[in-house]
Structure formats: structure tokens, C-alpha cells
Amino acid sequence: MPTLVRAIHEGQALSELRHQAAVDPLRGRIIGRFTSGFYARIRDQIFAAAGPLIWPGPIHLIAEQVPELAAEAGEVWLTATRLHYPGGTVDIASAAPYTPAIPTAEQLRAAAPLLVQWADMAGPPEDLATCWEPVLAAIDNEDIAGAALILQGRGIGLTPSGDDVLAGLLLFARWSGVPQAVLTPIAERAETSDLSRAFLRWAARGQSIAPIHALIISSSSSAERSERFNRAAKIVCQVGHRSGAALMTGLGIAAQSWAA
């Protein structure tokens, strides 16, 4: 018998799709699965439906329990209030929307030195060492598009390390005032996996997973600033195999250029 699970957090990718589904249900397909859930595509949006062990994010639909699939692949369809998939349904009606705010200039000024310090200590991701100097040169020249050409699809992981660094660059650029209209085409043109490109699109809009936004907010108070930042950084670095650490590196080199 199909299971019914209740969603507790909903990223903006699903919110926008549900708005479109208010008139007619939208159909899509499962494109992959992972320990906590599955990935699906509806129209040009990719999202993850998962249990409560993953962090809220712009493409995440988080339920009270892991949605169990009856098949490795299959069709999904979305209405204004529910996501149906092989083996069950997620009730999205009461899900809390995930809409993180863009950090203020004051928060960026407080976080920038700590991000730079962290990136200096961590160094480049090992799988990007051979291309790191050209990446830094492009960032020094405020050429994010040039850095993207070097980083796109490079490295290992479900989302390659180069894409994670690029996501950090796009995020910080958007937070520091670069228009979304400038950054989104860079994300769209990235020659990488569809999943990575989905994260890059949201980075260009100033959104990432919750621990990244908490990292910046934790740096906004002068009291115990470094200690709070380090605690938040450890949480970020536990995200994925290397994704969180690589994303922080991207934020760090972007912050260095911005501060200079």
C-alpha cells in the first residue's frame, strides 16, 4: 500500500513548481536515488525528496521520514499540495518554506576575514591543485565567467569539487551585489552534470543549504565570533564527501578578492 509522508521543509524550487501545478498537475521522472531519498526532474527543475537527515536547501523537499521508492526509476507527478512517486506520496501542504535571506553588507564584512583565513588554512581541494593558480588569477581580475570555464565539471564527487567552488564564488558575488542577471547565465552555461547545474543556478540567486547561511550569520556578532564561525564551518565541512569544504573555499577566495 502506498505510503503517505508529511513534508516539513520545502525549497523554493518546489514552491515555484507547485505554483505552476495549481492549474494542471506536472509530470516528471526520478533521475537518481541516494541514502536519504531520491532526485527527480520536473520540467527544467531538479529537486531532492528526502528524509530529515539532510539540511534544508533551495532544491530540497524534506519529509518527516525517508520516502521509500517502490522502483529505482519511474514517473512522479506534482499537484498544488502533493508529490506522488512510485510507492508513496509526500503531503507538502504544511511544509515550511525555505527562503534564506541574502546576508547584509555588515554580515559580509564580519564574515569575510574568517572566510579568507579558513580558505588560506585549508588550501585548494586536492583534485583542483593543478588548475588553482589560473582560478585565483581569474578571481583577482573579477572574472567569474573565466573562473567558471576552468572549474566547471572538474574534480570528483556527485557534484564535482570545481562546481562546489564555483557555487561559493557565485553565492558571494550575489551576496555582494552582483546582479542575478549577470550570474545566472554563468551557471546555465556550466558544462557539468544537471544536478550540479541546478545547485549553481540557485547559488546565482543567492541561495544555498541552511548551514552555509548560518555560517555567515554566525559571524555577524563580535562576541565569540571566531569560535562560532569555526563551529559552523565544521558543520558545513560535513556536508557531502567534500562538497561543503569546497564550497567554503569558493566563498573564501571570493571574500579575499572582495575585501581587497
**pLDDT tens for residues 175-197?**
999 999 999 999 999 999 999 99
Whether the pLDDT of residue 71 is over 80: the answer is no
pTM of the model: 0.93
Q: Tell me how far CA of residue 35 lies from CA of 38, 48, 54, in angstroms.
A: 8, 12, 10
| Helices and strands, number each (H, E), in the chain | 10, 9
Torsions phi, psi for 150 (to 5 deg): -80, -40
User: What is the rounded distance in angstroms from the CA atom of residue 42 to the CA atom of residue 26?
Assistant: 7
- 1 — pLDDT class (breaks 50, 70, 90): very low
3-class secondary structure, 10: strand
% of the chain residues with pLDDT over 70: 96
Q: Which of 59, 11, 12 is nearest to 38 (CA)?
A: 59
Q: What is the mean pLDDT of the chain?
A: 91
pLDDT tens profile 123-176: 999 999 999 999 999 999 999 999 999 999 999 888 899 999 999 999 999 999
